[in-house]
Amino acid sequence: MATFRPFRAFRPKPEFAAEVAAKPYDVLNSDEAREEVKGHPLSFLHIGKPEVDLDPAVDIHDAQVYEKGRENLQKLIDDGVLFQDSEANMYLYAQTMGEHTQYGLVGCAAVEEYWNDTIKKHEFTRKDKEEDRCNHVRVTNAHTGPIFLTYPDNPEIDALVDTVRSTPATTDHLAADGIRHQTWVISDRDTIARLQQLFAAVPNLYVADGHHRSAAAAIVGRERAQANPAHSGDEEYNFYLAVVFPAAQLRIMDYNRVVKDLNGLTEEAFMASLGERFTLTPADGQVRPPRKGTFGMYMDGKWYLLEAGAALLENPDPVQRLDVAIMQNYILNPVLGIQDPRTDKRIDFIGGIRGLGELERRVDSGEMKVAFSMYPTSINELMAIADAGQVMPPKSTWFEPKLRDGLFVHFLD
């Protein structure tokens, strides 16, 4: 059963929330982050990507980078930009992108439940990225960005959330990218107790986004426990910052592929190879796949609709019947020679938020030869794979909107 508990958040005073809230560390590279913080001294990127305040020649994994993050976080507190609640609360965080709004409860999940798989994962993590986030947590002594969790829909939790969101929001701002962010403080003790009871009856939570942050929180939490002779299990390091959303509210966008060349094949041979497994139909314009098992392909200024045969969609293995697996197993690997999409430099991945025009641009520029638009993985597919103890292929999911860092901070002591 899932643990989800209140905590004494450090959070921005309402008048500073819009300036503090920042994109997560892993959606911007260092140069992009440096541009983003220009004229924004309160941006939480100064904590999430503190290399923005150091010489670009400094390695982003250098010890001074993490120390700068700690200094910048402390400065926001010392300057009165961030303050700590006097009591342990839960919080509500709403994001609105276009016509879609999703409501997530903010609190702390349990480190031990990461290790015993009450919190289920669907991706492998990379050790170098784990260690980067571990060092960030160790030095800042804080979870500075929330883990994005989901759970099967629960009408009683929904009803409590509806009551909270019917009241005026504590903070409310529209970010530069057009996404609206609202937060509420849940301080009523009865409501908090009831939410904890309801989550205690939820069999599992699922990591939707933030596998490396989640792993880092669990690793550092275990380190702290082992180093504390008086460890009781109730210390703050045993819990980590999370936002939990009901599964039905989440939007997974397409995660598209572009490839540099045809692996030595002529265009005619390439098309013939595709025709062995897929039906190819020329299209008049951009192809956004209409259903599972369909793909768009763009090459030489032309779009095509690819449709997989029924046999590929009826695989009993929940991983192998994913569209991203079909793409990898029957096009990218055997035809285009991309055996490991994690490491092959001939392939790149483009989140659906950038639109199909970005696929056309990359191909038309000559940088890439062919692009594939994907039908989005569903949240039910994600949960089924996590339940089966399996992992998804690389770059299977792109969640939007992204959680902002800086709206809530959880310290480890």
Task: Please give the pLDDT value at position 97.
Answer: 95
Rounded Cα gap, residues 41 and 21, in angstroms: 12
Domain annotation covers residue 392: no
The enclosing domain of 305 has a CATH number of: 3.30.1760
Task: Give yes or no: residues 224 and 193 share one domain.
Answer: yes
Give the DSSP per-residue string, 88-122: -BEEEEEEEETTEEEEEEEEEEEHHHHHTTSEE--
State the CB neighbour count (10 A cutoff) for residue 115: 13
Domain annotation covers residue 207: yes
Name the E strands within 139-293: 142-143, 147-151, 171-174, 180-186, 205-209, 239-246, 252-253, 255-259, 278-283
Domain annotation covers residue 231: yes
Domain annotation covers residue 57: yes
Task: Give yes or no: residues 25 and 96 share one domain.
Answer: yes
How many structural domains are present in the chain?
A: 2
Task: Give yes or no: residues 223 and 290 share one domain.
Answer: no
Domain annotation covers residue 274: yes
| Spans of the chain below 70 pLDDT | none
Question: Rounded to 5 degrees, what angle do the CA atoms 264, 267, 269 make?
Answer: 75
Task: Give yes or no: residues 184 and 285 share one domain.
Answer: no
Domain annotation covers residue 385: no
Q: Under a CB-based contact definition with an 8 Å cutoff, are residues 12 and 407 in contact? A: yes
Task: Give yes or no: residues 194 and 287 share one domain.
Answer: no
Task: Give yes or no: residues 347 and 328 share one domain.
Answer: yes
Domain annotation covers residue 371: yes
Task: Give yes or no: residues 77 and 179 share one domain.
Answer: yes
Which segments of 152-210 does DSSP mark as H helices, in order?
155-165, 189-200
Task: Give yes or no: residues 231 and 263 share one domain.
Answer: no
Task: Give yes or no: residues 32 and 167 share one domain.
Answer: yes
Task: Please give the pLDDT value at position 315.
Answer: 86
Task: Give yes or no: residues 292 and 367 share one domain.
Answer: yes
Domain annotation covers residue 333: yes
Task: Give yes or no: residues 247 and 325 share one domain.
Answer: no
Task: Give yes or no: residues 177 and 270 share one domain.
Answer: no
The pair of structure tokens assigned to 322 is 């994913």
Structural domain containing residue 263: 255-375
pTM: 0.90
